[in-house]
């Protein structure tokens, strides 16, 4: 089976992890700070806080920005459930802003309209969390301008987008946000096995994020409520969590990030071949902004929304491709349609563009390990499948 995503592990990656296994520290040693320094350099951000998953990163970013009961998080429905769950884990209310059908990212027009109504209703969000779907940055300039007007904080869910470029700078530099979150799951652009990180320009926020990832405990005498009892002393000054990244994970990440630009270029080369092959096929593709650079975590396509019984046709095509050894997937089931969120009062029609996209969506294999022969098989199989369905 050709997977839709797959890690690329080199001998240097293996050696880096083995070096840590043979060292004195497996958890809180020197390798996590080294990986954080590499992240700061890659993202051109002053602060990077590595944690054990992107979900953890989203959670502590929300906590650090004061999200809690009685406050609201708005995010995209076209994402994995972790984006919204981070807000619920803080005890906040969550709502969803529909997507632009071309970019598949949060619609700034929808966001602006919703904010104007929320101001009239006194229900403005505390945090807006745009999701850079597939690796393509949202329109962060516009979102930042709206945050100035309406007074909300911004967390970029860039789980798909390390290595992406927006407005001439790396995604993660936080010019247009308070914080930016990355994922290092094995199917993402670089991996630490499981892992995530938050970048920010705000030193006070960075300090709070570092405390929250480690039980709310500090060891810096200058931050303590009274004089230290001795070199062993620590204080818990907030209710934190154990979200620390291990040195084993960080060693893999530090090795991987050295190949970040190469990984992104390989993804673009593969995507360009798909683009050319699918030019004449009845498929809609995510619009990628030529002025910026996507991280290209995903290559999503969708059957024409005008097709009758599109969901049934997508299922038949999905099954044909899987039987042909191609591990296509679907990203994403709109979060608000999940049973948990339906129980909170969300119904079909809340985000019609995201719901429409889901009905016809497929994610094709895209990763640096994908060979030209494998990609040719994907292209031929997709063409044959569409022909079998009478769509080409």
Q: How far apart are CA 313 and CA 83, in angstroms?
A: 29
Looking from the CA of 186 toward its CB, the CA atoms found within 13 Å total 8
**Phi, psi at residue 47, to the nearest 5°?**
-135, 140
Exposed, middle or buried, 229 (CB in 10 Å: 0-12/13-18/19+)? exposed
8 Cβ contact partners less than 8 Å away, ≥ 6 residues apart = 259, 263, 367, 368, 369
Q: How far apart are CA 324 and CA 293, in angstroms?
A: 32
Q: How far apart are CA 198 and CA 83, in angstroms?
A: 14
CB neighbours of residue 238 within 10 Å: 14
CB neighbours of residue 301 within 10 Å: 18
To 5 degrees, how large is the angle CA 247–CA 366–CA 167?
Answer: 75
**Phi, psi at residue 44, to the nearest 5°?**
55, 45
DSSP 304-341: -TTSTTHHHHHHHHHHHHHHTTEE-B-----GGGSHHH
* Radius of gyration for the chain, computed over Cα atoms and rounded to the nearest angstrom: 22
Name the active-site residue from 44, 188, 265, 323.
188
Distances (CA, A) of 182 to 39, 56, 161, 392: 10, 10, 7, 38
Residue 188 falls in the annotated catalytic set: yes
Distance of CA 146 to the CA centre of its chain: 22
| Residues labelled catalytic | 188
């Amino acid at each position: 089976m050709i997977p839709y995503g797959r890690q690329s592990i080199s001998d240097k990656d293996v050696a880096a992890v083995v070096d840590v296994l043979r060292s004195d520290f497996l958890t809180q040693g020197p390798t996590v700070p080294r990986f954080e320094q590499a992240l700061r350099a890659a993202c051109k951000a002053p602060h990077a806080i590595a944690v054990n998953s992107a979900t953890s990163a989203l959670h502590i970013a929300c906590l650090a920005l004061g999200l809690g009961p009685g406050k609201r998080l708005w995010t995209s429905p076209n994402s994995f459930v972790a984006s919204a769950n981070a807000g619920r884990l803080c005890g906040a209310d969550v709502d969803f802003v529909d997507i632009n059908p071309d970019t598949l990212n949060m619609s700034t027009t929808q966001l602006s309209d919703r904010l104007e109504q929320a101001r009239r209703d006194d229900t403005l969000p505390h945090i807006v969390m745009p999701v850079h779907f597939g690796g393509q940055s949202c329109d962060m300039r516009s979102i930042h301008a709206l945050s100035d007007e309406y007074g909300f904080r911004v967390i970029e869910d860039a789980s798909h987008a390390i290595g992406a470029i927006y407005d001439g700078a790396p995604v993660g530099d936080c010019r247009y946000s308070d914080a930016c979150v990355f994922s290092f799951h094995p199917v993402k652009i670089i991996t630490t096995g499981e892992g995530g990180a938050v970048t920010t320009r705000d030193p006070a926020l960075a300090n709070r994020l570092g405390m929250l990832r480690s039980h709310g405990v500090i060891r810096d005498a200058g931050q303590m409520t009274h004089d230290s009892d001795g070199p062993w002393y620590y204080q818990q000054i907030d209710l934190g969590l154990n979200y620390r990244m291990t040195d084993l994970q960080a060693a893999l990440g530090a090795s991987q990030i050295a190949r970040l630009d190469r990984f992104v270029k390989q993804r673009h080369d593969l995507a360009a071949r798909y683009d050319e092959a699918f030019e004449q096929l009845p498929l809609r593709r995510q619009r990628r902004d030529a002025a910026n650079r996507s991280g290209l975590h995903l290559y999503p396509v969708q059957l024409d929304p005008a097709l009758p019984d599109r969901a049934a046709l997508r299922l038949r095509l999905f099954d044909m491709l899987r039987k042909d050894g191609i591990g296509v997937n679907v990203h994403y089931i709109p979060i608000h349609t999940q049973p948990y969120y339906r129980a909170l009062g969300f119904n079909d029609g809340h985000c019609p563009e995201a719901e429409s996209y889901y009905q016809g969506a497929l994610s094709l294999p895209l990763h640096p390990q994908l060979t030209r022969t494998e990609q040719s098989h994907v292209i031929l199989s997709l063409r044959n499948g569409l022909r079998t369905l009478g769509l080409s």
